[in-house]
Structure 1
């Protein structure tokens, strides 16, 4: 009886590995799953994706704006409500796109949660700061920029969404701007 269960288990493992291959070509599955949860209504998995051609890798690495016309309407609304003139700022050379980093076993990683609101991103252009989170795409018009030091930049920005004003501060932890910390202030509170 034990041999039968062992054979069934081996067959299931083979089928699962084989089902994750592409183009009818057998590929060894090297994905290590830290957690898999499956219920009648949801599926949740935590794994490390090393394949840079994977759709999961692209979803994390790419900062795509799915609805540029929605963002433009939001910018127009912000400009009208606050009687602003959009100004193009001469910004110094530094990274302009940010994803949240998490720490696991002393290694940093980015996370693609099933809860899209937790996948917070920031992108900076010469006139706007665009955030992407639970509320979707939210552009902020930059109303003031200040280079506080060689390693720190401060942006004051306004959004038409509830006439919201925020201060974004970006700090470099090294001389080459390779390690970045970005946080924002909203009504005196700080979010990292």
Structure 2
């Protein structure tokens, strides 16, 4: 599952996706959507746009693609084009909250919980996470500045490697308060393990 603001390096080797990458680059959009696989549907109802930051084309046609997650979306209609999935989508935005004091306390508490969990990991594991996902993002001053909420939430979800169906559920939430509640429960579970 791809997340807003989180790097998502890809190795593209299937001909249909090689064609899709070529079209993304030729049209200049340099964006495409990614959803997790879902049995019976082909792909989940929610996903994340990926922005192409770099593409290394190999002599045999494969490519390494550096992408970063952008906007979240909900799938409205599914279709196919030349073997790859396409969809009509609507973008998601977090709902703004008026009672910022309550949200700030929850946000700061879960952020501290995440930092504590991260620091309890061994140096070797932290170094591995840092190489793959980057270091844990700092807490933003304005937690509602982005329509996707704080980047550190998405970074944490990416690092935790949870069940894809659960990840998609959290990706679909438009309430930062609800997302923080899920993160709190997951961190409590991992802290007990």
Say which structure is richer in strand. Answer: 1
TM over 0.5: no
TM-score bracket for the superposition, by shorter chain length? under 0.3
| TM-score (norm. length: structure 2) | 0.24
Select the structure with the greater relative contact order (CA < 8 A; seq sep ≥ 6): 2
Say which structure is richer in helix. Answer: 2
| TM-score (norm. length: structure 1) | 0.24
